[in-house]
Amino acid sequence: MPRLAPRFATLPSYPGAHVPARKRELLAQGVDVIDLGAGDADLPAPPAAIAALKRAVDDPSMSRYGFALGLPAYREAVSAWMLKRFGVRFDPFTEVVPLLGSKEGIAHLAMAFVGPGDVTIIPEPGYLAYLGGTLLGEGTAYTVPLRPERDFLVELDGIPADILGRARILYLNYPNNPTAAIAPRYYLEQVVRRCRELDILLVYDNAYSELAYDGYVPPSIFEIDGADDVAIEFHSLSKTYNMTGWRCGWAVARPPIAAALSKVKTFVDTGAFMAVQAAGVAALESWAEWVPGNVAIFRERRDAAVSAFAAAGFPCATPRAAMYLWCPLPAAIASRTFADRLLDEEGVVVLPGSALGSGGEGFFRVSFIKSPERLREAAARAGRLLVRMQGELA
Ligand SMILES: Cc1ncc(COP(=O)(O)O)c(C=O)c1O
């Protein structure tokens, strides 16, 4: 095989990459597998989005290249929604970047801002696209552990000055995957101020902005004074509208930052399928009437999952946002061992905390993406395994 580039060797294996094969084997053996691994709900997309997609595929103009512009109506719908939802204005044509899912944009952004010798600051555990973009840009990742005693916030003050001096990007994600933590406004103000002082690009991953409970309303980073000069924010239809497979998202930023991402993308993709963008318009327009019902389903699942996993020996906090429980494990049980045995012995897929970086050790992630009955069944199986493993340690 021809030689691989050295940067390729720096990529770790992707979390859960081994799971689909093992799951297939178990299913073939007749095991009743409950997959709570990915943040990918078993719920339908909004009917308005499905109808719009069906209409759009009959329109031959939708089958053409979208190019960087994409469907103008999609840009306009994003801009209108950002104004309605966060009270912030973005020009549809110079400040909105349509994406093939937000992961794509997050990963490609680093190509514009990171090179050899540059550092990015990455929360750990965290979404792996931050690390992937950094490594493919031949930058160096400086990871900051997210720990419960610090409310899972990335504290810049503990980072050595020489690292901050070389830092080009700070990745933040609140509501957070995997910890479900949320960021208080004073914290966001502090971070924006520091990024301005240090001239660091603040990449704000807001994929879970619309999955929030108990009256909590996640903000946009652009609600914070001064963010305009340093921030880019990523959004996605995936979680809000149960449209993970449709691959549709966007970024917003002021023109120079938006243009940098857009330019990278002109060399690597030619735009999302415009029929999907047309469905995106319908989804965004259905936000006010459709999203609350969907959130209510997630809230019911959250409540079922929190009580069932707590009763099974995993006392976790009740998340105010996102679709994850961050479940603690006894210190003597490694999260990867626990997750592997949970799949092999009980047919339940969860994500070990260590798969999202060593800072995630001591926890596993449960996505509450299935019915309350299935979540209760999964929790009971996890509790059984915990008892067995504790017995083995005694
Ligand atoms: C924190 C976070 N950001 C971004 C994404 C990417 O979502 P998508 O590429 O589907 O828009 C995910 C998906 O799991 C995520 O958890």
Q: For 98-150, write each residue's pLDDT tens digit.
A: 999 999 999 999 999 999 999 999 999 999 999 999 999 999 999 999 999 99
Query: For ligand 1, atom 13, which residue shows the shortest CA distance?
Result: 39
Distance between Cα 103 and ligand 1 center (Å): 6
Arithmetic mean of pLDDT, 24-51: 97
Nearest Cα residue to 123 out of 150, 91, 95: 150
pLDDT at residue 302, rounded to an integer: 98
Is residue 43 pLDDT above 90, yes or no?
Answer: yes
**Per-residue pLDDT reduced to its tens digit, 242-254:** 999 999 999 999 9
State the DSSP string of 300-365. HHHHHHHHHHHHTT------SBSSEEEEE--TTS-HHHHHHHHHHHH-EE-EEGGGG-GGGTTEEE
Is residue 30 pLDDT above 90, yes or no?
Answer: yes
Is residue 14 pLDDT above 90, yes or no?
Answer: no
Q: With beta carbons less than 8 A apart as the criterion, state whether 66 and 276 touch.
A: no
Q: With beta carbons less than 8 A apart as the criterion, state whether 183 and 172 touch.
A: yes
pLDDT at residue 358, rounded to an integer: 86
Arithmetic mean of pLDDT, 22-29: 96
Shortest-distance atom of ligand 1 to CA 236 = 11
Distance between Cα 331 and ligand 1 center (Å): 29
**Per-residue pLDDT reduced to its tens digit, 264-317:** 999 999 999 999 999 999 999 999 999 999 999 999 999 999 999 999 999 999
Arithmetic mean of pLDDT, 58-64: 97
Distance between Cα 173 and ligand 1 center (Å): 10
From the CB of 39, is ligand 1 less than 6 Å away? yes
Distance between Cα 290 and ligand 1 center (Å): 21
From the CB of 103, is ligand 1 less than 6 Å away? yes
| Summary mean pLDDT of the chain | 97
Tell me, what amino acid is at 43?
Answer: L
Is residue 328 pLDDT above 90, yes or no?
Answer: yes
Is residue 15 pLDDT above 90, yes or no?
Answer: no
Share of the chain above pLDDT 90, in %: 97
Distance between Cα 387 and ligand 1 center (Å): 33
From the CB of 16, is ligand 1 less than 6 Å away? no
Nearest Cα residue to 227 out of 198, 195, 182: 195
How far is C-alpha 77 from the chain's CA centre? 22
> Measured between alpha carbons, how far apart are the two ends of the chain, in Å?
49
Distance between Cα 384 and ligand 1 center (Å): 31
Collapsing DSSP states into helix, strand and coil, what is residue 252?
strand
Is residue 193 pLDDT above 90, yes or no?
Answer: yes
Ligand 1 pocket test, pick from 238, 243, 265 with the greatest ligand atom count within 8 Å of Cβ, gives 238
12: cis peptide before it, omega within 30°?
Answer: no
From the CB of 347, is ligand 1 less than 6 Å away? no
Query: For ligand 1, atom 16, which residue shows the shortest CA distance?
Result: 177
Is residue 16 pLDDT above 90, yes or no?
Answer: no
pLDDT at residue 308, rounded to an integer: 98
pLDDT at residue 357, rounded to an integer: 87
Arithmetic mean of pLDDT, 40-58: 98
Distance between Cα 178 and ligand 1 center (Å): 11
